[in-house]
A and B are shown apart, each in its own frame.
Chain A
Amino acid sequence: MEKILEAKHIDKYFKKPNNFHVLKDINFFIKQGEFASIMGKSGCGKSTLLYILSTMDTEYSGELLIKNELVTGRSSNELARIRNKHIGFVFQFHYLLPEFSVLENVMIPAKKLGAYPLEQIRENAMKKMQKLGIEKLADKKAFNISGGEKQRVAIARALINDPLIIMGDEPTGNLDSYNSDKVFDEFRKLSTEQGLSLLVVTHDEDFAKNTDRIITMEDGKILNPI
């Protein structure tokens, strides 16, 4: 199986408020189709790690590879393009653009990528939304739908450019158990049916137990790297 995401010797320090070694020599990789979760206590650095892996945080030492290509040290424009094309995000708070319709929210990353004409993008977006059962919401404004729906819209948006990997930062943290289960089921389907890799930071043990692999972190170290 191909390595989708690989971290080599990643170290990170927080300079403020005082010097703090938050990530200590992180080495691990995610294979294609793997559904992994990161668990650990608050402050163990799991979110910090996720944002480094997501390419948004560039202040670290070590190497980050996506699909065996080194992305460390690239310009912010290139990194933005990599995020756009290869990484889908689902956050704890739903982070939709509130004044735009649901459909537009889903379409924005694809419009930004510009690989397809607008009609095609619209069709793709509707397909993704159908799979998630939210096609009826298409014309509603994003601030007008419920939390569970928002999270599914966010998933549809994460999927629109057919990324290599979906990253989630507590994607179920703000949802009731019914909606959490639905979101988990969607993730599971993506992993098994489409061979998509997923990396999810979570506090939810039930959620983590059902993933393929639990990466446990403590004090800036991964306890079970392989």
Chain B
Amino acid sequence: MVDWKIILPIAKTHLFSKIKQTTIASLGVTFGIAAYITLVSFMTGLNEMLDGLVLNRTPHVHIYNEIKPTEKQPVDYLFGSENTMKIVHSVKPKLSQKKIYNALPLIKHLEENVDVKAAIPQVNTQIFYKSGSIDLGGTLSGIMPIKEADFFQFGDYVVSGSVKDLVKNENGILIGAGIAKNMSLDLGDRVQISTVNGDPFYLKVVGIYQSGIAEIDNIQSFVNLRTAQKMLQESSNYITDINVKMYEIDKSVELSKRIENQFNVTAIDVKTANAQFETGTNIRNIITYAVSITLLIVAGFGIYNILNMVIYEKMNDIAILKAIGFSGKDVQMIFMTQAVIIGFVGGVLGLIIGYMMARIIDQVPFETEALPTIKTFPVNFKILYYIIGFSFALISTFFAGYFPSQKAKKVDPIKIIRGQ
């Protein structure tokens, strides 16, 4: 049993009588924790932003009809799965429609799935932007603007004008920033586009879209879903793509496989489409933690050193405490308590300073062409990092205190008392 009423005051007196050493030891922890908090807030903030760049506008599952050759050629039907060698020359892709068959019921089916946050239809088609005699190739997406904004942060990428303007205006177009610049278009201007069939349409520029990726901004524009269907002279069940957003991204693989098997469409999940992006995130996280842990370990050694010194200086105290009836464990607890108090005070200070640093970084302007919605450095203020940082402060000081205090526990009082 540990008697805190007696151990705490002794630990406290030791700490206060060597206030300089105590301060330095605590500052070691403070520095480590503050650096950890600053680093992790900043790095994860950046990470989340970069992930967001990909994830926000990438559907978790993208469903469409892929133009490809039939997997099972007629000859396969003839010979079945027998061990025969079949050679078919110049296989051509199968002529099929671009639209997803029975798209509306499929959307309804998806939205009934509890894992699915939203399933949003799109009509994607090739178009030409016409300026006098010049034709510029591009792609046009017919979208449901409000839903895109709600589930895919579409609004973040509309740099002038707004999503609502598109909803209001059936002949409105959100034009890519690159194409707008190339064609000297601005809000309110009219742009002539034509479909692949050659039918011309006049649309009004109600907004400019900038994804930050030049290749997209140079070709991509958006209109209302219905407008796109009309341009293609199709009915309202003509849908070429369905973008699915899940509640949990991990379930997208399973869903895409199931949809593919069940509905005879192509379904690509985000993990397959963007395998490299997770690697980047993981590596950045590893670097963050490696640096933070190094800092905290250095701080831990500082505490270890200082406690070792304190214990050498307090040999007499240790001997006398043992002589008057303190057990080795009591003495150990006195020094452990000191270590943990140093960790606690240093840790709390570190959290505060780290938070302030994060706040400061959060105010630093950070403007880049690629990220139209970001005005300052992205910083993450998740409480979890503060809990981790504080736990680490306590754990590292615990171990830094454990070994020196173990020595104090084993001090032989007779040697000290007789040694003088």
Contacts and interface: CB of A to CB of B under 8 A. Distances in A.
B5 A89 contact: no
Given A95-B319, A96-B320, A112 B414 contact: no
A111 B5 contact: yes
Interface in A87-113: 89, 91-93, 95-100, 104, 108-109, 111-113
Interface in B1-55: 3, 5-6, 9-10, 13-14, 16-17
B29 to A, nearest CB: 23
B168 interface: no
Interface string B406-420: 000000011001101
B327 interface: yes
Contacts of A77: 327, 329
Contacts of B326: 80, 84, 112
B117 interface: no
B225 to A, nearest CB: 79
Interface string B323-354: 11111111000000000000000000000000
B3 A89 contact: no
B418 A47 contact: yes
Nearest to B3: A114
Nearest to A99: B17
Contact of A99 (B5, B14, B329): B14
B320 A95 contact: yes
Contacts of A99: 13-14, 16-17
B6 A112 contact: yes
Contacts of A113: 325
B325 A109 contact: yes
Contacts of B320: 95-97
B3 A112 contact: yes
B170 interface: no
A183 to B, nearest CB: 18
Interface stretch (A18-26, A51-59, A125-133, A203-211): A51-59
Contact of B323 (A54, A76, A82, A85): A54
A84 B322 CA distance: 9
B319 A83 contact: no
Chain B interface category by residue count: 20 to 34
B316 interface: yes
A49 B14 CA distance: 33
B278 interface: no
B341 to A, nearest CB: 16
A51 to B, nearest CB: 5
Q: Which of B16, B320, B329 has the most CB of A within 10 A?
A: B320
Interface in B369-420: 413-414, 417-418, 420
Nearest to A81: B325
A81 B329 CA distance: 12
B17 A157 contact: no
A96 B319 CA distance: 10
A111 B325 CA distance: 11
B263 to A, nearest CB: 73
Chain A interface category by residue count: 20 to 34
A51 B328 contact: no
A89 B14 contact: no
Given A77-B329, A99-B17, A84 B324 contact: yes
A171 to B, nearest CB: 12
Interface in A135-164: 157
Contact of A109 (B10, B13, B316, B324): B324
B93 to A, nearest CB: 84
Contact of A85 (B6, B325, B413): B325
A6 interface: no
A108 B327 contact: no
A57 B415 CA distance: 10
A169 interface: yes
A76 B325 contact: no
Contacts of B325: 80-85, 109, 112-113
A56 B413 contact: yes
A108 B324 contact: yes
Interface string A164-205: 000001000000000000000000000000000000000000
A83 B17 contact: no
Contacts of B10: 97, 108
B317 interface: yes
Contacts of B316: 95
Contacts of B17: 99
20 contacts: A51-B418, A80-B327, A82-B325, A83-B325, A84-B324, A89-B324, A93-B420, A95-B417, A97-B10, A97-B13, A97-B317, A99-B17, A100-B13, A108-B321, A109-B324, A111-B3, A111-B5, A112-B3, A112-B325, A114-B6
Interface of B: 3, 5-6, 9-10, 13-14, 16-17, 316-317, 319-330, 413-414, 417-418, 420
The 6 closest A-B pairs by CB, nearest first: A84-B325, A80-B327, A99-B17, A95-B320, A83-B325, A111-B6
